[in-house]
Structures are given as C-alpha cells and as structure tokens.
Amino acid sequence: MSRSSSYLRGPFTRFGLAVAAVVCLLDQASKVYLLFVHDLAANPIRLGPFFDFVLTRNTGISYGLFATEGALGQWILLAVKAGAVALLWVWLARATDRLTALSLGLIVGGALGNAIDRLAYGWVADFVYFHIWTATWRFDWYVFNLADVAIVAGVIGLLYESLAGERAAKAP
C-alpha cells in the first residue's frame, strides 16, 4: 500500500472525512444563505432575547485574534490552517475509535469551512451573536459561525476522550 493511500484507509478515516464534509457543507450553506440570499449585512435577524444573527467579517483567527488587514497576513493564516488540517488528517488516519474520528472530523470540517471563506472573501463570515443584557449588566460573547461550533465540539470530544474516555490515563 502506498503511503498516500494509507491516509485514507484507517479504520475510522472515512467516517471522520464524511463528518468533515458534512460540517463544511452545512457551514458553507449557512453562510451562502445568510450572505447572499438573506443579505445579513443589511438585515440582521433577532432570534430571541439572547441570540441574534449579525454579520461580522473576521480577518483573524478564533475570536478575532491576530486580525490582519493585508493579503500577506491572510495568506499566512491560510497556510497555518492548511498545515493544521494536514496534521489533523494524519491523526485521523491513525484514529482507532469513533469518538476520535468524529472529533477530528468536526475540527477538520470547521477549519475547511473557515478556510473557504478566507479564500473567497479574505475574511471569515461570523454571524451567531450570543448576548445577555439586563438593566444593570451586559455580557456580549464573540460572534461565531457553525464552523467554530464544530471546532469547539471536536476539541471537547478530544478532551473528553483524553481525560475520561476508555483510553484515558488512569491513576493507579
């Protein structure tokens, strides 16, 4: 078996890649709808007392960290993301259980969804805005998207597996 095909033949690799594809497709479909069909920039959506859909153009990474305005910075962020996806894909090819494959698929799919935005627009479209406002207090969470939710869920799955899962290191 060639080295290149071995990265597609792990026992759970196809499952993880299918998860990644579904996440990426759902993320992109939501963004296309909200950007071009609904025109979220002109028409924010109030979903309830705690959630709104608003358009934020994120030129950085998670939560707007390392925001860049120039093309060079965007290409550097894209290259870092591509490297991370490649490493996660290798990890996925070696996954020996379904939770690891699911978690890595969520992370890869989310990373790819955001990378497509960066290539297409030069920024990542974030739109879910969580907030709590009272008469005396205000909490505003970062604006995020479905890809970000998938990445966080994937990280939680990997943390669960490493701390409490069957293969977690147990004290003697």
- Contact of 142 with 64, CB cutoff 8 Å: yes
pLDDT of residue 66: 53
pLDDT of residue 155: 96
97 is catalytic: no
List the structure tokens of 27. 């993320």
Q: Write out the chain's pLDDT in tens, 172 residues.
A: 455 555 566 789 999 999 999 999 999 999 999 999 999 889 999 988 888 999 999 886 665 555 566 677 777 777 888 888 899 989 999 898 999 999 999 999 999 999 999 889 988 999 999 988 888 988 888 889 999 999 999 999 999 998 887 766 554 5
pLDDT of residue 128: 92
140 is catalytic: no
pLDDT of residue 68: 61
- Contact of 95 with 17, CB cutoff 8 Å: no
pLDDT of residue 34: 93
- Contact of 92 with 17, CB cutoff 8 Å: yes
Q: Which of 27, 117, 126, 140 is catalytic?
A: 126
pLDDT of residue 153: 97
Read off φ and ψ for residue 102, nearest 5 degrees.
-60, -50
Q: Which of 39, 52, 117, 148 is catalytic?
A: 148
